[in-house]
């Protein structure tokens, strides 16, 4: 494991170049360019605000509903979009895998890294919304990057597992959009954790994105009712998935070039 | 001499079942339902490499030759760490760069300059290294004017030049090259070969796989011939090439009847059974002369009626240079059906304007509707072409003068000093009208 990590560290420049390639290519021919990074969570937020905020009258733990849902959707969009890219990163680059050697994990790594740019662009809008709603940042806002890191690690851990499986079973490719679609509903994006009866709240432990979003949103908006237990559990799950994903990836990467 | 690469008892097997691509989980589930108590289906094992060992010293340039499917590519892939051996190991000292393809990782949407950075990085160069060599790389590639244009606008030649330009500036300790010189225009090939010769002078170890025997002979000091996944011969280049080419000749002598030849590819519903060379007046012959007419008769045997088959062959020189690739499909001919049983087709050549020497024919029989291959035979037969009165003169013309000659004549009227010239008739000798 040590040698594996050392080699990855030595090849980190390839990681930057691959991420840079992904980003460049993604925006090169899109007329709206970087605006796409904002549009997806923005439009979802508007829909949710209308449906759940206005019509259904969901509560939002005291914050303005648009801000409440947008902050969660920003992180969720990064997770769902990037997970698909990470999961497909090996088969999308099969011509590289069969022609040249470099640490294979750089491919999912680059996809996870590249997706962060969209998140960063979306954050500008988020800051704008906070100014608009006159939210005074609480000191906990300094903790928000931790949850972005957690989400990236989660995407990596889960993604490495999916990417490695995807090489052998192309079914995975079709499973990912389905998983993330279901995920959107079972993750507290447009509803607060407090909506779940407390006897069911433990179920959220199995969804690490629940804790990441709860922590991110709570710290950003200075909520006093963050479910820290859930946050801690999601960190444990994330690190566990990272370990499992990494081990599985390392154990199967030798055959990628033969079967991809 | 210090050791650069040591290959020890390398073997690699593939499961043929895995090649059948059971990559849908569903297939496995279906199998499980059909036969829940049977274990995984026993898979056929194919040994691509069997117990290969050799050592290469620092600065050696080694050519690796062998027929298609002999295991050369698998060996290169293992040496480049792309795939892993089933058993055995490889020790390589220093920075290893492998070029199994020119321009690996190039992206259509990125500009030439951007691709230089991307490709260089993937090949193992540091960003600073690429920056410092950028100017040299760009000028070597000869695409300066388009360096900030996305490469999707490039011709394939330009792409190749750009890719090779990056590769030529790698400065690895060990360079592994696969056949990349087989493409590109002649001027650029020359440039690549001289770049490779510089590598040789620079004390680098080079492993070079090619079907182009002339290139191997020029570049390499040592040859390794791989056959059926093992090292058949390892020694001075010309000896190995001679033995390798000789193996085709001896195979041919035993098999004017092609039905018994092994090592052929294709599914076999229809196969070539014999190749005959006939003179213009229909007599069977084994040698012919430059400039004469020739008929090549391809016999086949079909086990079942075959719809729309396509017959073709490639002719190579003794050093592996492709002379011509011809076939019914290329001629736009449509053969609706080849009924079961034996049959033949003839290719009539008015004048065989090839320089004397030995030429090899690789036969191919496939479907003109799909890519399906029925029969493929490499260097199945050879044709010896003896000297003929080329250009109507008595001068000796052989492989030093190229591969082909054209029906042609020199006109000397412009000199105006009454120089002698042969009669036009003899200059175009052999052409039937």
SS3 call for B416: coil
Choices 3.40.50.300, 2.60.200.20, 3.40.50.12160, 3.30.365.10: CATH for B3-8+54-247: 3.40.50.300
Q: Are A13 and B127 a contacting pair at CB < 8 A? A: yes
With DSSP H G I counted as helix, E B as strand and the rest as coil, what are the percentages for chain B, rounded to 5?
30, 35, 35
Looking at the structure of chain A, the number of domains it has is: 1
Series of mean pLDDT values for 10-residue runs along chain A (260 residues): 88 93 84 79 89 84 88 94 95 92 94 92 92 89 94 97 93 91 92 85 90 93 85 95 95 89
Each residue's pLDDT tens digit, A21-36:
998 888 877 777 778 7
Asked if the C-beta of A170 comes within 8 angstroms of chain B's C-beta atoms, the answer is: yes
Q: Which DSSP symbol is given to B183?
A: S
Residues β-bridged to residue B97: B175
Name the residue among A24, A98, A100 with its Cβ closest to that of B110.
A24
What is the domain range of residue A22? 2-259
Which part of chain B is CATH 2.70.50.60? Answer: 258-386
CA distances from A219 to A125, A136, A222, A226 (A): 17, 12, 5, 8
Asked if the C-beta of A197 comes within 8 angstroms of chain B's C-beta atoms, the answer is: no
Q: Are B98 and A17 a contacting pair at CB < 8 A? A: no
The pLDDT of residue B424? 46
What is the rounded distance in angstroms from the CA atom of residue A14 to the CA atom of residue A103? 9
The pLDDT of residue B186? 60
Best interface-test mutation with A: which of B122, B153, B166, B174 has the largest number of A CBs within 10 A?
B122
Q: Are A21 and B18 a contacting pair at CB < 8 A? A: no
pLDDT < 50: residue spans in chain B: 18-22, 251, 253-255, 423-433
Residue B329 near residue B310, CB atoms below 8 Å? yes
Which CATH architecture fits B258-386? Answer: Distorted Sandwich (2.70)
Helix/strand/coil (H, E, C) string of A186-197?
HCCCCCCHHHCC
Q: Are A101 and B82 a contacting pair at CB < 8 A? A: yes
- What ipTM score was computed for the predicted complex, to two decimals? 0.86
Chain B interface, Cβ < 8 Å to A: 14, 18, 23-26, 77, 80-84, 98, 100-101, 104-105, 107, 109-110, 114, 117-118, 121-124, 126-127, 150
Structure token pair of residue A154: 């989660």
Best interface-test mutation with B: which of A25, A94, A101 has the largest number of B CBs within 10 A?
A101
Q: Is B86 exposed, middle or buried (0-12, 13-18, 19+ CB in 10 A)?
A: middle
What is the rounded distance in angstroms from the CA atom of residue B375 to the CA atom of residue A158? 46
SS3 call for B36: coil
Q: Cβ contacts (< 8 Å) between B117 and chain A: which residues? A: 17
Each residue's pLDDT tens digit, B299-339:
999 999 999 999 999 998 877 788 999 999 999 999 999 99
Each residue's pLDDT tens digit, B199-242:
666 778 889 888 777 778 878 889 999 999 999 999 999 899 88
Q: Are B123 and A100 a contacting pair at CB < 8 A? A: yes
What is the rounded distance in angstroms from the CA atom of residue A236 to the CA atom of residue A243? 11
Which part of chain B is CATH 3.40.50.300? Answer: 3-8+54-247
Radius of gyration of chain B (CA): 26
What is the rounded distance in angstroms from the CA atom of residue A256 to the CA atom of residue A98? 8
The pLDDT of residue B432? 39
């Amino acid at each position: 494991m040590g040698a594996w990590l050392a080699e990855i560290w030595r090849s980190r420049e390839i990681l930057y170049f691959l991420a840079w390639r992904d980003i460049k290519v993604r925006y090169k021919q899109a007329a709206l360019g970087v605006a796409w990074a904002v549009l997806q969570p923005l439009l979802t937020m508007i829909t949710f605000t209308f449906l759940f905020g206005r019509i259904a009258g969901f509560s939002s733990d005291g914050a303005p509903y648009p801000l409440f849902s947008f902050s969660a959707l920003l992180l969720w969009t990064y997770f769902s979009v990037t997970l698909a890219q990470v999961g497909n990163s090996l088969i999308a680059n099969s011509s590289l895998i069969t022609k040249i050697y470099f640490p294979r994990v750089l491919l999912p790594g680059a996809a996870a890294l590249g997706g962060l740019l969209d998140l960063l662009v979306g954050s500008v809008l988020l800051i704008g919304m906070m100014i608009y709603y006159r939210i005074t940042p609480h000191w906990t806002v300094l903790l928000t990057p931790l949850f972005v890191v957690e989400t990236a690690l989660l995407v990596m851990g889960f993604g490495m597992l999916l990417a490695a499986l995807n090489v052998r079973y192309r079914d995975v490719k079709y499973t990912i959009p389905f998983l993330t679609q279901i995920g959107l509903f079972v993750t507290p994006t447009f509803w607060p954790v407090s909506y779940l009866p407390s006897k069911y709240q433990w179920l959220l432990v199995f969804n690490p994105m629940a804790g990441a979003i709860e922590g991110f949103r709570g710290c950003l908006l200075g909520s006093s009712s963050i479910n820290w237990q859930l946050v801690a559990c999601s960190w444990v799950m994330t690190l566990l998935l990272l370990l499992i994903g990494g081990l599985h990836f390392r154990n199967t990467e030798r055959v990628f070039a033969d079967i991809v | 001499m210090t050791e650069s690469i040591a290959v020890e008892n390398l073997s690699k097997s593939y499961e043929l079942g895995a090649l059948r691509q059971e990559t849908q989980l569903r297939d496995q589930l279906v199998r499980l339902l059909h036969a829940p108590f049977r274990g995984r289906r026993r898979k056929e094992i194919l040994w691509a490499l069997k117990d290969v060992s050799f050592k290469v010293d620092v600065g050696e340039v080694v050519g690796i030759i062998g027929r298609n499917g002999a295991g050369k590519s698998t060996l290169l892939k293992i040496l480049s760490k792309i795939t892993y051996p089933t058993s055995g190991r490889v020790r390589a000292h220093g920075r290893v760069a492998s070029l199994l393809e020119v321009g690996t990782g190039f992206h259509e949407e990125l500009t030439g300059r951007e691709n230089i950075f991307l490709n260089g990085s993937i090949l193992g160069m540091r960003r600073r290294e690429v920056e410092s060599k950028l100017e040299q790389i760009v000028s070597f590639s000869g695409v300066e004017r388009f360096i900030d244009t996305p490469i999707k606008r490039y011709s394939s030649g330009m792409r190749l030049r750009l890719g090779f330009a990056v590769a030529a500036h790698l400065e690895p300790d060990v360079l592994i090259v696969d056949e990349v010189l087989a493409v590109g225009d002649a001027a650029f090939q020359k440039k690549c070969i001289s770049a490779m010769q510089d590598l040789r002078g620079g004390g680098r170890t080079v492993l070079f796989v090619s079907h182009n025997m002339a290139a191997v002979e020029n570049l390499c000091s040592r040859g390794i011939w791989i056959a059926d996944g093992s090292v058949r011969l390892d020694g001075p280049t010309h000896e190995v090439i001679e033995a390798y080419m000789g193996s085709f000749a001896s195979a041919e002598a035993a098999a004017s009847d092609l039905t018994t030849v092994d090592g052929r590819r294709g599914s076999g519903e229809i196969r070539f059974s014999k190749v005959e060379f006939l003179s213009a007046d229909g007599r069977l012959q084994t040698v012919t002369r430059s400039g004469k007419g020739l008929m090549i008769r391809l016999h086949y045997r079909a086990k079942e009626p075959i719809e729309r088959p396509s017959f073709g062959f490639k002719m190579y020189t003794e050093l592996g240079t492709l002379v011509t690739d011809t076939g019914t499909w290329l001629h736009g001919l449509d053969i609706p059906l080849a009924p079961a049983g034996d049959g033949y087709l003839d290719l009539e050549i008015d004048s065989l304007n090839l320089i004397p020497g030995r030429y090899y024919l690789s036969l191919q029989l496939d479907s003109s509707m799909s890519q399906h291959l029925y029969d493929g035979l490499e260097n199945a037969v050879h044709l010896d072409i003896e000297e003929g009165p080329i250009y109507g003169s008595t001068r000796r013309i052989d492989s030093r003068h190229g591969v082909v000659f054209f029906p042609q004549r020199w006109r000397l009227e412009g000199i105006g000093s009454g120089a002698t010239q042969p009669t036009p008739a003899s200059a175009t000798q052999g052409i039937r009208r």
